[in-house]
């Protein structure tokens, strides 16, 4: 059984679909009921097993109740902490409310799921995969709060991997560059009305490989890192970046 947060759209949805295709029973967790339902319907429609659960990962009480409910239905062995939000701004333009909101979802949200989930995984071992970003380890313009949050995700990944070696729990994270999701399309429509196609090309060219990543490509790496084939890998931040780190300039 696998729990995937933020599985109602984008990368999380692709991961849930990939896991179900690999034979896992997936617990689809999202703050939006319709999105979660749609993912489950797609999984069930192709013969997979999944249930949907509405949860705000920033609310620890709700997270604990959800994990207690899921664990009561059977052991889970995979936890994918994917739920998160983005934010654009420098340290000057980021308001306190913006900063707190990003922290509550992207940092405390993953902490809440780790805090609630590790105890159940200790019994039989398992795999934790956190969704970070290249923003967490590289200086990106106008991403102050978002970069802060993803840097914290990377640090939490290393800490959990170290602390739970003896419990046979592996913990890794993936740091994608820009991935083409509905969020990107919405961003372009809002910020560049009438210039969406032009700016899409500009954003795509930011990756040396010349395009954005695909959610399915992130899902493929997630499937590997949560499989027995990666049993010798823990405490690692995987850059899935189209050459962003090593091939620029």
- Report pLDDT for 246: 86
- Report pLDDT for 132: 98
Is-catalytic flag, 158?
A: no
Query: What contacts 118, CB < 8 A, 6 or more positions away?
Result: 128, 160, 164, 169
End-to-end Cα spacing for the chain: 43
The stretches of 51-205 forming alpha helices (DSSP H) are 60-72, 96-102, 109-121, 144-163, 182-191, 196-204
d(CA 82, CA 71): 19
- Report pLDDT for 157: 98
Query: 37-96, pLDDT tens digit by residue?
Result: 999 999 999 999 999 999 999 999 999 999 999 999 999 999 999 999 999 999 999 999
Choose the catalytic residue: 120, 146, 164, 238: 146
Phi, psi (rounded to 5 degrees) for 161: -60, -45
Phi, psi (rounded to 5 degrees) for 212: -80, 160
> Does pTM surpass 0.75?
yes
- Report pLDDT for 19: 98
d(CA 156, CA 150): 10
Q: What is the mean pLDDT of the chain?
A: 96
d(CA 118, CA 137): 25
Closest C-alpha among 35, 74, 75 to residue 53:
35
d(CA 63, CA 4): 13
Query: 11-22, pLDDT tens digit by residue?
Result: 999 999 999 999
**Domains of the chain, start order:** 2-177+214-239 (3.40.50.720), 178-212 (no CATH)
Helices 144-163 and 109-121, axial angle in degrees (round to 10): 10
Q: Is the pLDDT of residue 249 over 70?
A: no
CB-CB contact of 145 with 89 (8 Å): yes
pLDDT-wise least confident of 7-21, 156-170, 177-191, 207-221: 177-191
Query: 198-211, pLDDT tens digit by residue?
Result: 999 999 998 899 99
- Report pLDDT for 66: 98
Mean pLDDT of 172-185: 93
């Amino acid at each position: 059984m696998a729990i995937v947060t933020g599985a109602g759209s984008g990368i999380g949805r692709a991961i849930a679909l990939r896991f179900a295709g690999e034979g896992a029973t997936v617990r689809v967790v999202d703050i939006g009921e319709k999105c979660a339902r749609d993912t489950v319907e797609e999984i069930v429609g192709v013969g997979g097993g999944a249930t949907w659960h509405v949860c705000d990962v920033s609310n620890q009480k709700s997270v604990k109740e959800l994990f207690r409910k899921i664990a009561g239905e059977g052991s889970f062995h995979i936890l994918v902490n994917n739920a998160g939000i983005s934010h654009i701004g420098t340290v000057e333009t980021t308001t306190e409310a913006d900063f707190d909101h990003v922290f509550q979802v992207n940092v405390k949200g993953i902490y809440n799921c780790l805090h609630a989930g590790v105890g159940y995984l200790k019994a039989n071992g398992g795999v934790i995969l956190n969704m970070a970003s290249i923003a967490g380890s590289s200086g990106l313009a106008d991403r102050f709060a978002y970069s802060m949050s993803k840097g914290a995700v990377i640090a939490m990944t290393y800490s959990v991997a170290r602390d739970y070696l003896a419990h046979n729990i592996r913990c890794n994270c993936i740091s994608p560059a820009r991935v083409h999701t509905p969020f990107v399309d919405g961003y372009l429509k809002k910020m560049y009305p009438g210039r969406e196609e032009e700016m899409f090309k500009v954003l795509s060219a930011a990756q040396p490989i010349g395009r954005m990543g695909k959610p399915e490509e992130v899902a493929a790496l997630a499937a590997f890192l949560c499989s027995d084939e990666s049993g010798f890998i823990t405490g690692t931040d995987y850059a899935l970046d189209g050459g962003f780190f090593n091939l620029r300039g």
